Amino acid sequence: MRYALGMVVMFALVFTFNWPGAFLVILLGNGFLLGAKPTLEFALDFVYKFALGFVFSLIITYLFIDYYLLFLPIMGMIMLYVYYSDASVLSPILKVALCILNMIVPLMWLKTPMLGVTLGLVLVIGAFAAILLTMIMFALIPDIEKVDSDDHGSHAADVQHLSKTQRFNLALKSVMALMPVIIMFLFFDMQTDALIIVYISLYAAMPDFANDFKLGKLMVKTTMIGGCVAFFMYEILVLIPMFSFFMLMVFGLALYAGHQMISQGKYALNIQKSFSAVIFIFGQVANNPDADAESKMWIRVVQMTVIVIYLVIAFRVLEMFFPETKKQSIP
């Protein structure tokens, strides 16, 4: 119930004001609500590190964005640090936030510097709003029993104890899979598709894409399921264009998904990733006044499918150079 009501509040906030980068509130809130109760110490640490990451990203972008031969290696080292850091340094949900920040700020800066600064600042505010709303929901609907968990909203797999060398090799693979896409976006001015590189940076943290294509197949399948659910919700909203009815649909879907994910049901992993796809796909087009919103929804589905296929191939190729990291994943 806490998860469902929390998602309703966040969807209502995002779709009421609809500011640039508002999807971060839902994306991070989805992770926070699935984790243990965030403490004040964790919240302050999260906001502080994310805000510091924003300032650092602005400085690097301002100094080096016009010099690609310098900017690209620096960006690669930043992402290597993000992927390499374990949960004691960067929580899984903070990794997600920093991946988004480090992709969005430089790309938007290329369009106009003010847009990069503004959108980065909005992302920081959105991250603060997500954790604040989560803490409010935990205060309104507390746990009946103590939950023993240090995982504050992780979408990642269970932490595995890897050596520093293994973690470095895994992080290096992730950066090597990500860098060609960053280069393509920079040289071809693809700022309008910034969300694509955001999701590639998130999925690149999962080198298990190379393991017999199992994770890749799962991501393609759940993307298609999420796309169908988003399409169904959109078609219903066309017939019944009421905000209250939309919130009722979100509540019902989140209540079912949250129950399955929190209780670790048989299809928990499929439902978790499908619901994330719904957030991404539906959240970008549902309140779009354009007549072609329906086609844009399916374009998002195709884009996410292409992302998964690319990463499956990229990690499969990289596996030949890093055989010792096979069947491991980054904590």
* 178-187 long-range Cβ contacts below 8 angstroms, 24+ apart: 178/79, 178/204, 179/72, 179/76, 180/314, 181/310, 182/72, 182/75, 182/103, 183/72, 185/107, 186/68, 186/72, 186/106, 186/107, 186/110, 187/68
pTM: 0.80
**Mean pLDDT for back-to-back runs of 10 residues, the chain (331 residues):** 92 81 80 87 92 93 90 93 84 88 89 89 90 93 67 44 78 90 84 76 72 67 80 82 89 88 77 78 57 62 79 82 54 40
Measured distance CA(321)–CA(21) in Å, rounded: 37
Residues 6+ apart with CB under 8 A from 231: 294, 297, 298
> Measuring CA to CA, how many Å separate 227 from each of 6, 204, 251, 275, 284?
22, 21, 18, 10, 12
pLDDT at 157: 40
Q: Give me the residue label for tokens 């600042």.
A: 121
pLDDT at 227: 77
> Measuring CA to CA, how many Å separate 177 from each of 89, 90, 174, 181, 239?
23, 21, 5, 8, 43
Q: pLDDT tens across 119-173, in order?
A: 889 889 988 999 999 999 999 998 876 655 445 544 344 444 667 787 888 888 8
- Whether the CB-CB separation of 58 and 114 falls below 8 Å is answered with no
- CA angle, corner 212, sides to 207 and 217, nearest 5? 80
| Tokens encoding 61 | 């972008």
* 3-state SS assignment for residue 65: coil
Q: Kindly report the number of other CB atoms within 10 A of residue 203's CB atom.
A: 24
Q: Whats the size of the chain, residue-wise?
A: 331
pLDDT at 270: 80
Measured distance CA(155)–CA(276) in Å, rounded: 10
- What H or E segment, with its residue span, contains residue 64? helix 40-64
pLDDT at 305: 77
Q: What are phi and psi of 60, to 5 degrees?
A: -60, -45
> Measuring CA to CA, how many Å separate 193 from each of 172, 197, 300, 314?
25, 8, 10, 20
- Whether the CB-CB separation of 173 and 207 falls below 8 Å is answered with yes
- Whether the CB-CB separation of 99 and 174 falls below 8 Å is answered with no
pLDDT at 331: 40
pLDDT at 31: 85
Give me the torsion for CA of 81, 84, 170, 225, rounded to 10°.
Answer: -90
Q: Among candidates 125, 123, 117, 115, which has minimal Cα distance to 191?
A: 115
* 189-197 long-range Cβ contacts below 8 angstroms, 24+ apart: 189/110, 190/107, 191/107, 191/108, 191/110, 191/111, 193/303, 194/103, 194/104, 194/107, 194/108, 195/280, 195/284, 196/303, 196/307, 197/103, 197/107
pLDDT at 70: 92
Measured distance CA(256)–CA(292) in Å, rounded: 30
Measured distance CA(13)–CA(171) in Å, rounded: 35
